[in-house]
Amino acid sequence: RSEGLILLSGGPDGPVDPLFAQSRPGDANQALTTMKAVFGDRFYVELQRHGRPEEARAEPGLVEWAYANDVPLVATNDVYYAKAAQARSHDALLCIADGAFTGQEDRRRVTDQHWFKPAADMRTLFADLPEACDNTLDIARRCAFLVQTRAPILPRFDTGAGRSEDDELAHQAREGLKVRLAQVTPAAPEEDYWKRLEWEVSIIQQMGFPGYFLIVSDFIKWAKSHGIPVGPGRGSGAGSLVAWSLTITDLDPLRFGLLFERFLNPERVSMPDFDIDFCQERREEVISYVQQRYGSDRVAQIITFGTLQARAVLRDVGRVLQMPLGQVDRLAKMVPANPANPVTLAQAIELEPRLREARDNEKSVETLLDTALELEGLYRNASTHAAGIVIGDRPLVELTPLYKDPRSTIPATQFNM
């Protein structure tokens, strides 16, 4: 599994440095030897200098082993923020995450050297080991990455009847339309329904989406057969006669004059998107069915990220700075509350003279606002999308990194929508 990969030894939080720092050179050397045996000339001994005591304790052993075993050194910096001036804001962010205060002694701290240092700064830092900086370029030259454009990867629908997806879609749509027309009084001549159906089927086949329609129809039919309430359909998908025939929707598009082209148009190629509403109390049953149908390793929810918004970030930063609660609350309420069009902190400062006055008159408020401006918009927590589910044609770990939400048994993609 190491083919095509470059390995660095890991730095002070990796598997090797702590062994040297704990005066266990034999174990450390053995770990390095194992890494070299697996990765060969694609292995580098990593050095970091953030001012941590354990880095200084480990470095002599790392350098000695690298020289003795003809393994190149490489200098790295563990980057947490872009600029040196952001160290204070990052420290506040750690306190927000840990429920601590900046003035607290017994809390997590890092040095102020975790910024994105330019090459000149790194060469100054490693002036005694210039080859460690040179080798960063060596690694860069050995790396190649190209984002390839491709069509969406759609899971295959098992027809169970030996038919192709194209044939199965046409078969189910025709049979479904017969049932629909027998149940209602048609809003137009039946000939119009059949012409519309065949035209839609041909467009869906031409664009390569029969499987999508069949998959959606399958789990909706399953839900309805198990007494799970399903919405009648909303959005542009209600304009599809094929969707009505497959019971994806319960709206006759000819009766209501709805256009299929609003949903799927060969002149504007994009993924179709059905808006489907399931009973909230039994939604998990539908997801479980999809997992059983396509494989639990091929089904995932979609991650979402909560961000630090203007009012919330003021309160969070005010708390970790141990400012008076009443003062912070008054300042936070100066930010207009508009959920439909949230006001940023920078906009609020520009619009609200009382905020500017407080900033100009009190050093603590200036620190609060400056820190909050740096942190606003950053991700605060991960959750799962309220509706989205991903189904793959292969194990999803081959397509996307996954996240395990401790509140759910279903993994989530680490890519959001």
CATH of the domain at 65: 3.20.20.140
User: How many residues belong to the chain?
Assistant: 417
Residues 6+ apart with CB under 8 A from 347: none
Is there a domain that residue 325 lies in? no
Count how many domains the chain has. Answer: 3
Is there a domain that residue 339 lies in? no
Is there a domain that residue 88 lies in? yes
Residue 138 confidence (pLDDT) above 80: yes
- Do 138 and 179 belong together in one domain? no
- Do 19 and 127 belong together in one domain? yes
- Do 32 and 133 belong together in one domain? yes
d(CA 317, CA 89): 9
- Do 52 and 124 belong together in one domain? yes
Range of the domain at 215: 171-283
Give pLDDT tens digits for 365-389.
Answer: 999 999 999 999 999 889 999 888 9
- Do 109 and 228 belong together in one domain? no
Report pLDDT for 409.
Answer: 86
The label of the residue with tokens 């038919």 reads: 163
- Do 136 and 181 belong together in one domain? no
Report pLDDT for 134.
Answer: 98
- Do 181 and 93 belong together in one domain? no
Is there a domain that residue 260 lies in? yes
> Cα dihedral angle (344, 349, 353, 359), rounded to 10 degrees?
140
pTM confidence score = 0.78
Is there a domain that residue 177 lies in? yes
* 323 within 8 A of 314, measured Cβ to Cβ: no
- Do 183 and 272 belong together in one domain? yes
Is there a domain that residue 160 lies in? no
Sign for the pseudo-dihedral over CA of 343, 235, 276, 217: negative
Name the token pair of 113: 């050297």
**Residue % of the chain over a pLDDT of 90:** 86
Report pLDDT for 392.
Answer: 94
